[in-house]
Amino acid sequence: MMRNLARAALIAGMLVAVGGCAAWNHTFGETPPSAAVAPAPVDPYAAERPTTASVGVVMPDLNDFPHSWDVSTYVLRVTQFGVMPPLNGGVAFVGDSLTDWMRWNEMFPEIRSRNFGIAGDTTVGLKARINQVVAARPAKVFLMIGTNDVEFNRLTPEGVVANIGDCIDALQKGVPGVTIYVENLLPRQPQFDEKVRTVNALLKAAIEKHGLAYIDLYSHFVTNGRLDPTVTPDDIHLSGQGYLRWRDVIRPFVGNN
């Protein structure tokens, strides 16, 4: 019996190494003892960690984050925004990684600006933190959000546009006289193009109905139903040349502040 148990343990180790539970199940029809999911380690400092609540932002449901690593990024950036002084003018660039990963103050050194981009953010996450943009009291806002919603597929295109509309309402109510420029979604991998175009069409109709400025970035970056490969290393994010193209599109609207 001991020999049989040892043999089973050896086979389990080999199968888990090469094929995991699926390989064991195929052979024995049950989950290998070594493949049991270990409980998540308890963080002894959990009560001391920074939270979005400390800066007045209600943390979205964890299911609303496309990837697990986006949670800590969201907390880090939101708590940073929460300790910054108001802009009281200037320009706020608001969005996800496409906004976050650009140094807008260097791209437009002649203006005062703040980058409110958060890598991995969705329209749900932006709704939760939009009051931080309101508190900064910018004169202008350049807003592009939604590509992670498209990939995550948790919301319909209508839901994505509705969330953007709620963010715009909050900005207009909280910062009277603010000028908002809504930028449509950039193209990305071909499998997402139809949904991107659907979101953009709905967004254009909603923005124009409310008399706001709508900036078409998509047409400046699309090539055969995908993001122009000359300006992206991964079919979604932009290289330096891509950001220069973006800058040139919006430069007439940025002006001097």
> Which CATH number covers residue 207?
3.40.50.1110
State how far Cα 30 lies from the chain centre.
39
Spatial distance between the Cα atoms of 103 and 183, rounded to a whole number of angstroms: 18
Return the pLDDT at 256. Answer: 62
Report residue 3 as tokens: 């020999």
pLDDT tens for the chain, residues 1 to 257? 434 434 444 334 433 333 333 333 433 344 444 556 678 789 999 999 999 999 999 999 999 999 999 999 999 999 999 999 999 999 999 999 999 999 999 999 999 999 999 999 999 999 999 999 999 999 999 999 999 999 999 999 999 999 999 999 999 999 999 999 999 999 999 999 999 999 999 999 999 988 999 999 999 999 999 999 999 999 999 999 999 999 999 999 998 65
Query: Which positions ≥6 away from 208 have C-beta within 8 Å?
Result: 214
Q: Which residue has the tokens 């949904």?
A: 195
Residues 24 and 127 in one domain: no
* E strand or H helix at 247: helix 240-254
* Residues 179 and 213 sit within 8 Å (Cβ to Cβ): yes
Is there a domain that residue 79 lies in? yes
Question: Which range marks the domain in which residue 89 is found?
Answer: 61-254
Residues 245 and 139 in one domain: yes
The structure's pTM equals: 0.84
Return the pLDDT at 37. Answer: 65
Share of the chain residues as helix, strand and coil, in percent rounded to the nearest 5: 55, 10, 35
Residues 178 and 234 in one domain: yes
Residues 144 and 186 in one domain: yes
- The neighbour count for residue 228, using CB atoms within 10 Å, is 18
Residues 27 and 71 in one domain: no
Residues 161 and 201 in one domain: yes
Return the pLDDT at 21. Answer: 37
Is there a domain that residue 238 lies in? yes
Return the pLDDT at 40. Answer: 74
Is there a domain that residue 55 lies in? no
Residues 24 and 65 in one domain: no
